[in-house]
Chains A and B, each alone.
Chain A
Amino acid sequence: MKTQKFFQPLALYFCLALLAMAFSLFVSGEVALAKVRVITSLPNFAAITKEIGGDKVDVESLAKGYQDPHFVDGKPSYVLKLNRADLLIYNGLELEIGWLPPLITGSRNSKITSTNSPGNLNASTLISNILEVPTARVDRSMGDIHPGGNPHYWLDPRNGIAIANGIAERLKEIDPKNASYYDERLGDFVGRLNAKMKEWDEKLAPYKGTQIVTYHKGWVYFSNWAGFEEVGYVEPKPGIPPSPSYVADLIRKIQGINVKLVIAESFYPQKTPALIAEKAGASFLTLPASVGGRDGINTYFDLFDVIVGDITSKLASTKEAIRSSNLAGG
């Protein structure tokens, strides 16, 4: 009698489970969709995938562009998205190590769980010149260091071409019947990006060699392309917030040299870098680091239009200010 009483809820539960299974069998029969479903960890890859895939793909990014890509909450709802994905594109170089792996494990999707399957694209493998690859053994006294190199490579538009090429290759592999469509769109994208890069290069040309300070080591690829020289970082070590004494040291250090610009992504604290800029006689600039980082940045082109535009107009205005103050002084 006792066991019977205790087994009633158990029986009820198993009935419920069976019902749920039957239901899922019924629904999963009609999953087949024509479009390739792409999930990207970061919005930059989603933007480029949209350019290549056009209306043949459904693409969504897990992280938002205004979010710090190191610290994304791995919400269970993302598991659902990954469960249905044909292709997962992620940054790699351990940028997403704190949140993406458990989501992939939970996805139950063999298309993406193996690192070398067509549905799993680690975009860092497409980049030829990864910067800041450690040449000696690393340890965590160096801060939140990435053993594979600096992961912020999407901020060099030249890498955008490599990423686009890699994405097109994967799309062709997964969806061969639309291969010519992807090729055509890749050519178009690369053509437009080349043209845009010429435009940006021209805009940045007068400012080559500008000395800048950034909050995080997140702009090294951009500086490498734009010809800027990074002379300091607000973070003493990657991922470690600055102490007051470090800030004082940094101000002292950059007062001596001609630093024009202090840059911080919008998700970092703004007060400290603004103070450093003020004390060092430089301009402070908040910049979006990803597509979606600011309202109106919807494409990879928009991102650089805003970054290059903001930087050049800021530098132009400081130049103007210096000239006028010199005139007034003289």
Chain B
Amino acid sequence: MSAKRFTMMFLSVFLTFAPILYKDAWCDERDDIKKQMQELKLQMESMQKKLGELEEKNRILEEETKKQKEEKEIEKTITEAAPPPKQEGSLQRIIQSLNPDISVIGIFAAAYFSEDDPIIHAEIDPENTGINLQEIEVGFQAVIDPYFRADTFFVLRRDEFEIEEAYFTSLLGLPLNLQIRGGLRRAKFGRINLQHREVQDFVTLALPAAAFLGEHLNPIGAEFNFLLPLPWFSELSASLNSPDGLETPTFARDEDANNLARLLYIAHLSNFFELSDALSLSLGGSFATGSNGTERGNRSNLYGVDLFAKYRPLKNNPYQEVWLQSEFMYRQAETEEGDLDDWGAYGQFIYRFAKRWNTGIRFDYVDTNDPISPLEGEAVLSSIAKSEGEGEEETELGLFGKELRYAAMLTFNPSEFSRIRLQYEFDDPDFSDSFHAVFLQFEYSIGAHGAHPF
């Protein structure tokens, strides 16, 4: 009985609590499933994440390969564009010789003078009615080494040889933006003195240049050119020169040669203003002082002002331009007879109206406070340039009074290397009759001639 009761009790208790237990058990199971589900979810999420990451990685990889491909393409185009090793042909070997650039310029002029014995002012001006050889200029130009270049120009005439220039120029960067030119060279005095004959705009040399500088002022010396630290181009030049052998009426070697004060000192300040693309203006001042060879201790001082203006409208008429060049020179000279005060000026205006054509006018004038008498003057005049150089003869510095000259010219350049120029001149010296002159000049240039400065 008791066993039965026990069983009954157990059963009732079990039945009473079973739902709880069952519930517990069931609940546990549900929780488990939930948990598992959550885990699964988490796993899924992590998988998704991983997948995303993988996808991202793949994308990056693809992008990288694409980029590399593009880069390779670019590199390919770049390398394709790079020059292949050049073949050494015989032509190139000709170009590669280390000879200097050699050039020859010839200037001839047919002339007609209305007077039998016209005044010849400069050495290279045409002398007689007929056909004149003005000059043959031979140039040798090359870079010497990384530090210097050399320019050499000889002037030849039928029976004359002259070294017009032979100088070196420093190429290296020196302090204070210094550039040194040394040797025999056209000195930086004004503008026309730096222009070789083939660059000048007229057949004859302007009167003040002829009267005070001779054909050209080209002493032997050392020249120091400083680029001034200014917003515009401004160059200050100072040179120490030996006047020996100069063919200029203003300066000559002094007998008292062992004296630094008797040397020739030249200074020049040049300024350039680019006012617009089309308009440029250059302004300069010069000073030279040195012995003049008339007597021991006698000196000459020469002052100069130069102006150059150019208008070239590049946009509308690229081959039309006008330029104006003018210089004023004033000279003080000590001579045995007394001090001379001479001055002169010229102005020229050129109009280039087509690519190969230009025309222009010039006036030039010289004056003195103490003219040499007309007759004497005329006699001395033709020999003056030649006698100057010999030095031993007594030099004559004075002018012959006033002289005014007008010139008009028309130039045709068939190419950059040839030129035909027609010029008319009216010369009016106050000590003798005025006269007319007509020139027809032919000029050519062969070989590699260095470019001319602005």
Contacts and interface: CB of A to CB of B under 8 A. Distances in A.
A19 B229 CA distance: 12
A7 B171 CA distance: 32
B351 interface: no
Given A75-B280, A113-B171, A162 B177 contact: no
B91 interface: yes
The secondary-structure label for the interface of chain B is mixed
Given A20-B226, A165-B78, A194-B73, A106 B179 contact: yes
B310 A80 contact: no
A140 interface: yes
Contacts of B356: 241
Interface in A92-133: 97-102, 105-106, 108-111, 113-114, 125-128
B404 interface: no
Contacts of B261: 3, 7
A159 interface: yes
Contact of A83 (B80, B171, B177): B177
A241 to B, nearest CB: 6
A186 B81 CA distance: 14
Interface stretch (B10-18, B231-239, B375-383): B231-239
Contacts of A176: none
B74 interface: yes
B277 A76 contact: no
B9 to A, nearest CB: 91
Contact of A102 (B71, B173, B232, B450): B450
Interface in B159-217: 169-179
Contacts of B417: 140
Interface stretch (B28-36, B50-58, B123-131, B312-320): B312-320
Contacts of B265: 10
A111 B172 CA distance: 9
Contacts of B71: 187
A73 B287 contact: no
Given A97-B451, A128-B84, A73 B312 contact: yes
A77 B176 contact: no
Contacts of A148: 95
B454 interface: yes
Nearest to A148: B95
* Chain B CB within 10 Å, residue with most, of A80, A127, A147, A162: A80
Contact of A140 (B175, B289, B415, B452): B415
A6 B227 contact: no
B81 A165 contact: yes
A229 interface: no
A219 to B, nearest CB: 18
A27 B229 contact: yes
Interface in B133-178: 146, 149, 169-178
Contacts of A161: 77-78, 81
B368 interface: no
Contact of A20 (B228, B310, B312, B453): B228
Given A3-B297, A135-B91, A9 B450 contact: no
B289 A80 contact: no
* Chain B CB within 10 Å, residue with most, of A28, A67, A83, A105: A105
B406 interface: no
B272 interface: yes
A17 B310 contact: no
B318 A113 contact: no
A134 B273 CA distance: 41
Interface in A60-77: 64, 66-68, 71, 73-77
A239 B415 contact: yes
Contacts of B226: 17, 20-21, 24
The secondary-structure label for the interface of chain A is helix
A159 B235 CA distance: 39
B175 to A, nearest CB: 8
B331 interface: no
Contacts of A134: 91
Contacts of B179: 106, 108
Interface string A291-310: 00000000000000000000
B334 interface: yes
A187 B70 CA distance: 9
A3 B233 contact: no
A34 interface: no
B3 interface: no
Nearest to A21: B176
A144 interface: yes
A190 interface: yes
B83 A125 contact: yes
A9 B299 CA distance: 13
Given A79-B233, A128-B83, A108 B227 contact: yes
A128 B74 contact: no
A114 B146 contact: yes
A24 B176 contact: yes
Contact of B77 (A9, A17, A99, A194): A194
Given A158-B81, A267-B318, A108 B173 contact: yes
Contacts of A25: 175-176
A67 B170 CA distance: 31
Interface in B362-377: none
A6 B74 contact: no
A322 interface: no
B67 to A, nearest CB: 10
B272 A102 contact: no
B416 interface: yes
Given A6-B301, A108-B177, A109-B173, A64 B314 contact: yes
Interface of B: 70-71, 73-74, 77-78, 80-84, 91, 94-95, 146, 149, 169-179, 226-229, 232-233, 235-236, 238, 261, 265, 267, 270, 272-274, 277, 280, 282, 287, 289, 297, 299, 301, 310, 312, 314-315, 318, 334, 355-356, 415-417, 446, 450-454
10 contacts: A6-B299, A6-B301, A7-B289, A9-B289, A9-B301, A28-B229, A67-B314, A102-B450, A140-B415, A267-B314
Given A105-B171, A186-B78, 11 more contacts: A9-B289, A10-B289, A17-B226, A28-B229, A64-B277, A113-B172, A126-B81, A134-B91, A140-B415, A162-B78, A267-B314
Q: Which 4 interchain pairs have the tightest Cβ spacing?
A: A162-B81, A76-B272, A27-B229, A76-B233
